[in-house]
Chain A
């Protein structure tokens, strides 16, 4: 695996090469950059350097001359502008549609990832509201509800700090979850007030419905999380692509679509994809286990309460 400095040198070369080839069609820019990367990897694997020093990569790249020189050499070998025909127009349209679909798919995954994180948090709070909002008998749950009402700001502050720590360690995906948690805490604070005011003794039915829905959502999310964790082990490449796609900002995504017909090949080396898959595995497994634990606690608490009621 290349050192970060070596990767940076290669990336910088290809960035300058693509910029110098801006007059050429998209596929020419992409092919040229891919070919440089492939050649460098070939030379390095032949020389047997697993972690090449930056100067080794720079030496290999010097065979191409500067990116601008290499771009001029490519352009000088190309024929003049192609005649615009119906066929060439259709081909361009086809490439554009293909790029657009690929980009939309990545964006969808990115949104789905953030949406799922928000859903988990929302389900947790709905369950708490359902438990703690109204009943006099639900002591601990009621205390949680009251505590949440009183300490909502403190909780928001704590969650904000927690989200910052997570963000520092786990990158853009976890940052999104942290922000979601912060937003959900604020929303929950107001939701607790509103729900308490709205639901009276007749809210027992609603409480049970909310509880059932919350438990069902938690069970579903736990199963989905464990499934995703399993999938990241079975298909780390695919998972890695999705994660790296989700990590792209909109600006990066637009840039990717503009410059990259064979987009997925730029998502990273196999090692980087495997790392992304490992992060997904770790995060989703932890989330899955957390949810399973929560479900177990709910079950245990319900049994205990039933036992206490029977004892009375």
Chain B
């Protein structure tokens, strides 16, 4: 059960990161804060390797910026390929959630009701 929960969160985390970065560029700590606010409990040991993988895949791009913080800070932003991947993943997620929803609440998604709706 725990393993299923972990896998579900892990799978959703990638989409959550891409969705957050589609708003504007963010650095690691900022991203963790936003994810925590959204209800994801995520540690540094999880988020940075994930960002590294997404960066390697070309979905996001990273750059070091030395700004007002006084020390170099790595900002991540979504690339064109990342935008396409995000919209594809959002479509798949919507479809998946709807399919699962039909099984979790069969009465709500009964063929007759769906037709009436």
Contact = CB atoms under 8 A, between A and B. Distances in A.
Most B CB within 10 A of own CB, among A69, A70, A79: A70
Interface string A24-49: 00001001101101110111011000
Interface string B44-69: 11101110110010000000100001
Interface in B1-49: 27-29, 43-46, 48-49
Contacts of A265: 72
B28 A73 contact: no
Interface residues of A, number: 27
Nearest to A271: B70
B71 interface: yes
Contact of B28 (A28, A35, A76, A78): A35
B74 interface: yes
Nearest to B62: A31
Given A63-B43, A79-B56, A42 B73 contact: yes
Contacts of A70: 45, 48-49
A63 B56 contact: no
Contacts of A38: 27-28, 71-74
A292 B48 CA distance: 56
A41 B44 contact: no
A279 to B, nearest CB: 21
A188 B46 CA distance: 64
A295 B70 CA distance: 43
A42 B52 contact: no
Given A38-B28, A39-B29, A42-B29, A77 B71 contact: no
A139 interface: no
Interface residues of B, number: 20
Contacts of A269: 71
A299 interface: no
Interface SS of chain A: helix
B70 A270 contact: yes
Interface in A9-36: 28, 31-32, 34-35
B32 to A, nearest CB: 9
Contact of B46 (A43, A73, A78): A73
Given A46-B29, A64-B44, A64-B45, A77 B69 contact: no
A209 interface: no
Contact of A39 (B28, B50, B52, B56): B28
B52 A74 contact: yes
Interface string A282-309: 0000000000000000000000000000
A39 B70 CA distance: 13
A150 to B, nearest CB: 58
B69 A45 contact: yes
A42 B28 CA distance: 9
A63 B45 contact: yes
Nearest to A63: B44
B72 A34 contact: yes
A38 B27 CA distance: 10
A223 to B, nearest CB: 34
A89 interface: no
Interface of A: 28, 31-32, 34-35, 37-39, 41-43, 45-46, 63-65, 69-70, 73-74, 76-79, 265, 269-270
Interface of B: 27-29, 43-46, 48-50, 52-53, 56, 64, 69-74
16 contacts: A34-B64, A34-B72, A35-B74, A38-B73, A39-B44, A41-B69, A41-B71, A43-B29, A45-B70, A63-B45, A65-B43, A74-B49, A76-B49, A78-B53, A78-B56, A270-B71
